[in-house]
């Protein structure tokens, strides 16, 4: 039972596409990540995933459209929906997703990281 | 699948202790609430509850201590733990909790509102 200061947690890491776990509740995890560049197309079969923008502008590409998210906006990607996050400049995001969520769904890629660190 | 802008949602209501549902994922709900004054002592038997501070300073009183939360800080109150939110000035919070969560747990009070509106 400790409070979490988002800015302090972000100061503890600088790499991209490597979410850190900063909270757990009801089988869900709260994660912080720095994103920069283009991620890979993927989906999560059984998990809805929430992207909350802490800093910067994130685009999320879907097969039929693109969404642009700015600070203090969020988007929930429903389970099964293919998506690809794109960060032209560095973005700080907070993620909410079930603890079971695989980083890149069924896709395997050099960016895939399913051993995420607790901060 | 629409993005949610937190500030725009907060502009749509002004009352206190009346959370609005702004997102749902994995059986959980994302809610926004304006808090002002002292809430009542309560706990949620089976639900962990996350308070994320969007604006202002929120105190959460526990039976053995007090936590003070500022903007962009969050706190997860574990299931079963009695707590009492206190907002000396108005606070804007984002809540994450299971859809099953009762507003004031087993307590009944004039502030109790279990028919929360979707915004």
Contact criterion met (CB below 8 Å) for B52 and B85: no
Contact criterion met (CB below 8 Å) for A69 and A57: yes
pLDDT at B43: 93
pLDDT at A9: 98
Interface of B with A in 78-107 (CB under 8 A): 78, 81, 96-98
Q: Model confidence over A74-107: pLDDT tens digits?
A: 999 999 999 999 999 999 999 999 998 888 888 8
pLDDT at A50: 98
pLDDT at B73: 98
Q: How many CB contacts within 8 angstroms connect chain A with chain B?
A: 87
Q: What residues in A contact B73, CB-CB < 8 Å?
A: 3-6
Q: So where are chain B's domains?
A: 6-98
* Whether residue A1 has pLDDT greater than 90: no
Q: Which residues contact B51 (CB under 8 A, 6 or more apart)?
A: B58, B60, B69, B74, B75, B76, B77, B85, B93, B94, B95
pLDDT at A108: 85
Q: Model confidence over A28-67: pLDDT tens digits?
A: 999 999 999 999 999 999 999 999 999 999 999 999 999 9
Q: What residues in B contact A49, CB-CB < 8 Å?
A: 25
Predicted TM-score (pTM) of the model is 0.94
Per-residue pLDDT band for B12 (boundaries 50, 70, 90) equals very high
Q: What residues in B contact A72, CB-CB < 8 Å?
A: 5-7, 54
Q: Which residues contact A74 (CB under 8 A, 6 or more apart)?
A: A50, A51, A52, A53, B3, B4, B6, B23, B30
Q: Model confidence over B26-72: pLDDT tens digits?
A: 999 999 999 999 999 999 999 999 999 999 999 999 999 999 999 99
Structure tokens at B104: 């004031």
Q: What residues in A contact B50, CB-CB < 8 Å?
A: 23, 25, 30
Fold (topology level) of A6-98:
Jelly Rolls (2.60.120)
pLDDT at A11: 98
C-beta neighbour count of B116 within 10 angstroms: 15
Candidate from A1, A69, A78 with C-beta closest to B1: A78
Q: Model confidence over B102-116: pLDDT tens digits?
A: 888 888 888 888 878
* Whether residue A111 has pLDDT greater than 90: no
* Whether residue B87 has pLDDT greater than 90: yes
């Amino acid at each position: 039972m400790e409070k979490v200061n988002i800015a302090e947690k972000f100061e503890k890491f600088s790499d991209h596409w490597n979410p850190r776990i900063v909270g757990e509740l009801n089988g869900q995890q709260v994660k912080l990540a720095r994103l920069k560049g283009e991620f890979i197309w993927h989906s999560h079969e059984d998990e809805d995933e929430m992207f909350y923008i802490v800093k910067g502008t994130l685009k999320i590409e879907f097969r039929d459209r693109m969404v642009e998210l700015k600070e203090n906006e969020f988007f929930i990607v429903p389970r099964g929906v293919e998506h690809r996050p794109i960060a032209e400049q560095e973005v700080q995001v907070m993620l909410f997703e079930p603890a079971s969520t695989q980083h890149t769904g069924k896709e395997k890629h050099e960016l895939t990281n399913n051993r995420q660190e607790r901060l």
